[in-house]
Structure 1
Amino acid sequence: MQILLVGAGLSGAVIGRRLAEAGHHCRIIDTRGHIGGNCFTERDPETGVMMHVYGPHIFHTDDEEVWAYVNGFAEFMPFQNRVKSTTRGAVYSLPINLLTINQFFGKAMRPDEARDFVAGEADLTIEDPQNFEEQALRFVGRDLYEAFFKGYTEKQWGCAPTELPASILKRLPVRFNYDDNYFFHRFQGMPRDGYTPMIAAILEHPNITVELNTPYTPDMAGAAGHVFWSGPLDGFFDYDLGRLGYRTLDFERFTCQGDYQGCAVMNYGDREVPWTRITEHKHFSPWESHEGSICYREYSRACGPDDIPYYPIRLVEEKALLDDYITRAEATTGVTFVGRLGTYRYLDMDVTIREALETAAAFLDCVGTGHAAPAFFTSPR
Structure 2
Amino acid sequence: MSKRILLVGAGLSGAVIGRTLAEAGHDITIVDERKHIAGNCYTERDDESGVMVHTYGPHIFHTDDEEVWTYVNRFERFMPYVNRVKTTSGDQVYSLPINLHTINQVFGKSFRPDEARAFIETLSDTSIEDPKTFEEQALRFVGQRLYEAFFKGYTIKQWGCDPNDLPASILKRLPVRFNYDDNYFFHRFQGMPENGYTPMVEKILDHDRIQVELNRRFTRSDAGAFDHVFYSGPLDGYFDFELGRLGYRTLDFEMFRHDGDYQGCAVMNYGDVEVPYTRITEHKHFSPWEKHEKSVCYREYSRACGENDIPYYPIRLADEKSLLGRYVEKAKAEHGVTFVGRLGTYRYLDMDVTIREALDTAAAYKRDGDTMGAFHVNPD
Instruction: Return the TM-score normalized by structure 1.
Output: 0.99
Secondary structure at 1:65 match in 2: helix
Q: Distance in 2 between matches of 1:300 and 1:219?
A: 35
Match of 2:235 in 1: 233
Aligned pair partner of 1:96 in 98, 106, 112:
98
Task: Find the partner of 1:173 among 172, 175, 185.
Answer: 175
Deviations 1:37-74 (A, max 9, x none): 00000000111000000000000000000000000000
- Residue in structure 2 matched with residue 377 of structure 1 by the alignment: 376
Residue 273 of structure 1 aligns with an amino acid whose one-letter code is V
Secondary structure, aligned partner of 2:144: helix
Deviates more, 1:81-90 or 1:213-222: 213-222
Q: What is the rounded CA distance, in whole Å, between the counterparts of 1:229 and 1:170 in structure 2?
A: 30
Report matched runs for 1:135-214 at 5 Å: 135-214=137-216
Distance 1:317 1:47 in 2: 45
Find the residue that maps to 1:72 and give its secondary structure.
helix
Alpha-carbon displacement from aligned partner over 1:180-235 (angstroms, at most 9, x marks no partner): 00001000000000000000000000000000000002221110000000000000
Does residue 299 of structure 1 match 2:301?
A: yes
SS in 2 for 1:84: strand
Check the 8 A contact 2:266/2:283 in 1, yes or no: yes
User: Secondary structure in 1 aligned to 2:37?
Assistant: coil
Whether 2:81 is the aligned partner of 1:79: answer yes
**SS across alignment from 2:142:** helix
- What is the CA–CA distance in structure 1 between the aligned matches of 2:8 and 2:18, rounded to whole Å? 10
Q: Deviations over 1:112-146 (max 9, x none)?
A: 00000000000001011010000000000000000
| AA partner of residue 281 (structure 2) | T
- Contact 2:61–2:191 (8 Å) recurs in 1: yes
Instruction: Tell whether 2:341 aligns with 1:342.
Output: no
Is contact 2:17-2:362 (8 Å) kept?
yes
Deviations 1:274-300 (A, max 9, x none): 000000000000000001100000000
**Residue number in structure 2 paired with 1:321:** 323
Deviations 1:314-339, CA, capped at 9 Å, x for gaps: 00000000000000000011100000
* One-letter amino acid of the structure 1 residue matched with residue 304 of structure 2: A
Equivalent-residue separation in structure 2 for 1:79 and 1:149 (angstroms): 25
Kindly report which structure 2 residues correspond to 1:21-40, keeping only aligned pairs within 5 A, or say none. 21-40=23-42
Mapped to 2, the partners of 1:219 and 1:339 lie a distance apart of 21
Q: 2:220·2:238 contact (CA, 8 Å) conserved in 1?
A: no
C-alpha distance in 2 between matches for 1:63 and 1:217: 35
2:313·2:348 contact (CA, 8 Å) conserved in 1? Answer: yes
- Equivalenced residue count is 378
Any runs of at least 4 consecutive aligned residues in structure 1 with deviations exceeding 6 A, and if so which? none
- Whole-angstrom CA distance in 1 between matches of 2:58 and 2:289: 17
Matched residue SS, 1:81 = coil
**In the TM superposition, what whole-angstrom CA distance separates every residue of 1:238-284 from its partner, at most 9, and x where no partner exists?**
00000000000000000010000000000000000000000000000
- Partner Cα distance (2:240, 2:226) in 1: 20
Instruction: Specify the code of the residue in structure 1 equivalent to 2:377.
Output: T
Residue number in structure 2 paired with 1:56:
58
Q: Name the CA distance, whole Å, in 2 between partners of 1:8 and 1:344.
A: 17
Partner amino acid, structure 2, of 1:51: V
Q: In the alignment, which of 104, 107, 110 is matched to residue 108 of structure 1?
A: 110
Q: Secondary structure at the match of 1:242?
A: coil
- Deviation of 1:170 after TM superposition, in Å, equals 1.2
How many angstroms apart in 2 are the aligned matches of 1:153 and 1:218? 38
- Contact residue 51 and residue 292 of structure 2 kept, 8 A: yes
Deviations 1:338-369 (A, max 9, x none): 000000000000000000000000011012xx
Residues in 2 aligned to 1:55 and 1:218: alpha-carbon distance in whole angstroms: 30
Aligned partners of 1:217 and 1:168: how far apart in 2?
34
Q: Does 1:265 align with 2:267?
A: yes
Match of 1:248 in 2: 250
Paired residue for 1:11? 13
Contact 2:248 2:312 in 1 (8 A): yes
* Shift, 1:78, TM fit: 0.0
Q: TM-score, normalised by structure 2?
A: 0.99
Range that drifts further, 51-60 or 371-380: 371-380
Distance 2:60 2:276 in 1: 24
SS in 2 for 1:249: strand
Tell me the distance in 2 between the aligned counterparts of 1:58 and 1:218: 34
C-alpha distance in 1, partners of 2:130/2:228?
46
What is the one-letter code of the residue matched to 1:160? D
Structure 1, unaligned runs of 5 or more = none
